[in-house]
Amino acid sequence: MSENIFITEETAAGDDDGPLADKTVAVKDNISTEGIRTTCGSAMLDEYVPPYDATVVERLKDAGADVAGKANMDEFGMGTTTETSAFGPTDNPAAPGHVPGGSSGGSAAAVAAGEADLALGSDTGGSVRCPAAFCGVVGIKPTYGLVSRYGLVAYANSLEQIGPLAPTVEEAAELLDAISGPDPNDATTREEGADTDYAAAADGDVDGLEIGVPTELLDGADDGVVEQFWSAIDELEAQGASYHEVSLPSVEHAVEAYYVIAMSEASSNLARFDGVRYGHSGGFEGNWNEAFSKARREGFGDEVKRRILLGTYALSAGYHDKYYKKAQDARAWVKQDFDEALADADVLASPTMPIPPFELGESLDDPLKMYLADANTTPVNLADLPAISVPAGETDGLPVGLQLIGPAFGEETIVRAASALDQ
C-alpha cells in the first residue's frame, strides 16, 4: 500500500446523478475546495480553508462525482517528485520505493492505488503527465484556455492548466468532458472545444493517423524508455497509423525558457503569502519587513525559496531583458516549431519522461537533475498545446509513458490516438 496520498482526507459529496455519478475524485491540494483545507503542500497554507469551490470542483460535483480527499503535491507545484511537499513524500503504488512523479504525485498515486476512481492535477510544466507516466495511469494536459483556472492557486498562470488523471483514456476523457468549457470567472477560457464529446473520441480508431516523432525528444532518453516508446509506435502502426521523424530545433532551449518564465511568474504570485493577507503568520514581531520575512522564512520550503529568489532576479531591472525577455523569445520559437511540425502530422509522439521514476530521495538534493527530467513535457506548456500521457509498458519493472501532443484544441485527436493503446 502506498503511503501519504492524501493531505486532507475530508470528502465532499456531489449531485446524486450525472455522467460521473458514484465516481470519486482525488483533488490536488492546490485546487480550492469550499470548507476543505487547501494547503498547496505548504506549511504556509497549513490552515487555509477556502470559502468557495474552484470551477472544476463545482463542475465535477454537478456531474455527480464526489471529492475523495485532497491529494499530496510538491509545494506550490514546484517539483517533479512530490518530495518537496511539507507533508512528506508519497510512495509510488506502481513502483514502491520510487517517487510517484510530480507535482501532482498524490493525484496519480490515488488513481494507481485505487484510492479514487479519478483525479485532478494541474500541469504547469508536466505535473499531470509526469506522475501519470511514473504511476502507470493516464493524464491529460489540456490546451491553454480549455479548462478554467478559477480557484487554482497560481504557480505560473501563463503556463498552467488543470487536467484529469484516470486508469483509462476513456475515463480521463469523461472527466475532461465534465470540467472543460468557458467560465466567466476565468477570462482566459475559450469557447473552442466546449461542445466536443471527448469520451466518444476514445474509440481507438487510428487508421490513417500521421504521427510526427521529434528526434530531439528522444535524444537524452534512457535506452529502456526509448525501446518502450518504439514498441508503442509499432503498435499504433499495426493498427493503421504511420509515422515520420520531425525536428524541433528550439526545444533544446525549452527547459531553460520554462524555468525562467515559471520562476518569474511564481515570484510575483507568491508575494501575496506574507502572513497578513494570506498564510502562516510569524507572530508579528518587529517592523513589517521583519514580520513578513519571518512568516515567509518559516512558511516556505527550500525549493520554493530558491524559485522566488531566482524569479525575482530574472525580473529585476537590468536582468529583465537578459533573462525574462529571452525566455519569452524562446517560447515564441517553440510555438512556431510545434505549429510547423503539426502542419504535417496529426499528433507528435515522444516518451513522456526521458527516464523511469527516481528512487525516493535520489533527486532531492540535485535540483538540476530534477529540472532536466522535464525536457519533454515543458515545451508543450510553452506552446499552450494539449498532450496526453498513456502507459507504454515498463523498463526494469518501472512504468513508462507515451506522450501524444496535438494541435490547439485537438484533444479529440490525442484521446482517439491514445485510446488505441489501451483498448
> Which residues in this chain contact ligand GLN in the complex, by CB under 6 A?
77-80, 103, 122-127, 155, 262, 374
Residue nearest to ligand GLN (CB): 127
- Catalytic residue check, 281: no
Active-site option among 23, 28, 61, 294: 28
Please report how close the Cβ of residue 140 comes to ligand GLN at its closest, in angstroms: 13
How far apart CA 115 and CA 126 sit, in angstroms, is 23
- Catalytic residue check, 419: no
**CA proximity to 113, closest of 179, 165, 61, 162:** 165
Q: Three-state SS string across 210-234, please?
A: EEEEECHHHHCCCHHHHHHHHHHHH
Q: Three-state SS string across 111-172, please?
A: HHCCCCCEEEEEECCCCCHHHHHHHCCEEEECCCCCECCCCECCCCCCCCEEEEEECCHHHH
- Catalytic residue check, 103: yes
Active-site option among 32, 42, 127, 419: 127
Please report how close the Cβ of residue 70 comes to ligand GLN at its closest, in angstroms: 16
Active-site option among 2, 42, 103, 267: 103
Q: Which is nearer to ligand GLN, 89 or 126 (CB)?
A: 126
Q: Which is nearer to ligand GLN, 124 or 250 (CB)?
A: 124
Strand partners, 242: 210
Please report how close the Cβ of residue 377 comes to ligand GLN at its closest, in angstroms: 7
How far apart CA 104 and CA 70 sit, in angstroms, is 11
The dihedral through the CA atoms of 323, 255, 263, 301 has a sign that is negative
Peptide bond before 268: cis, by omega within 30 degrees of 0? no
Q: Which is nearer to ligand GLN, 205 or 256 (CB)?
A: 256
Please report how close the Cβ of residue 349 comes to ligand GLN at its closest, in angstroms: 20
Please report how close the Cβ of residue 311 comes to ligand GLN at its closest, in angstroms: 11
Q: Which is nearer to ligand GLN, 110 or 209 (CB)?
A: 110
Give the Cβ contact number of residue 321 at 10 Å.
9
Q: Which is nearer to ligand GLN, 122 or 413 (CB)?
A: 122
**CA proximity to 88, closest of 195, 96, 99:** 99
Q: What are the phi and psi torsion angles at 128 (to 5°)?
A: -95, -45
Please report how close the Cβ of residue 75 comes to ligand GLN at its closest, in angstroms: 10
* Cα separations in angstroms, 141 against 2, 120, 411: 25, 11, 9
* Cα separations in angstroms, 273 against 78, 149, 298, 306, 344: 16, 19, 11, 16, 46
Q: Which is nearer to ligand GLN, 20 or 132 (CB)?
A: 132
Residue type at 400 in one-letter notation: V
Give catalytic residue positions. Answer: 28, 103, 127
